[in-house]
């Protein structure tokens, strides 16, 4: 993989994380390619699919609202060719932890697919 492209993708992931934590939906959307797909991990429809900036924006606004009381940490970022993977941890006000992971696929330096998975406490 071209080192400049790898660096650009790493910067996209960092921007995504920063915008997500800030609740900046427009900033998050800017990290996606125009025809990107997003598969959610929570909400009224776990696994809900959104395609394109408008649908992804709507989905992200609901997901950010769902997790607004939690502090997010990104862990174990890995890149390979046109994909990336990271694990994450949310800690809420009660110090309960929620764990998950995201799989990303890129189109150039933009995210073309984000597929999210969350551990659920039974």
pLDDT tens-digit series, residues 72-93: 899 999 999 899 999 998 887 7
Contact between 83 and 102 (Cβ < 8 Å): no
Q: 87: which strand partners?
A: 75, 101
Predicted pLDDT at 37: 97
pTM assigned to the model = 0.89
| CA distances for 91 relative to 71, 94, 95, angstroms | 5, 8, 5
Predicted pLDDT at 81: 87
Predicted pLDDT at 92: 77
Under-50 pLDDT residues of the chain: 122
């Amino acid at each position: 993989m071209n080192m400049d492209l790898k660096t650009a993708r790493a910067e996209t992931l960092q921007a995504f994380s920063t915008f997500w934590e800030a609740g900046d939906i427009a900033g998050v959307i800017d990290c996606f390619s125009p025809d990107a797909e997003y598969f959610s991990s929570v909400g009224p429809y776990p696994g809900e699919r959104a395609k394109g900036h408008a649908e992804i924006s709507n989905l992200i606004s609901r997901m950010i609202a769902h997790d607004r009381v939690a502090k997010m940490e990104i862990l174990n970022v890995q890149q390979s060719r046109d994909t990336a993977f990271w694990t994450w941890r949310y800690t809420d006000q009660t110090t309960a932890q929620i764990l998950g992971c995201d799989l990303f696929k890129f189109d150039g330096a933009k995210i073309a697919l984000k597929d999210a998975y969350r551990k659920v406490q039974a």
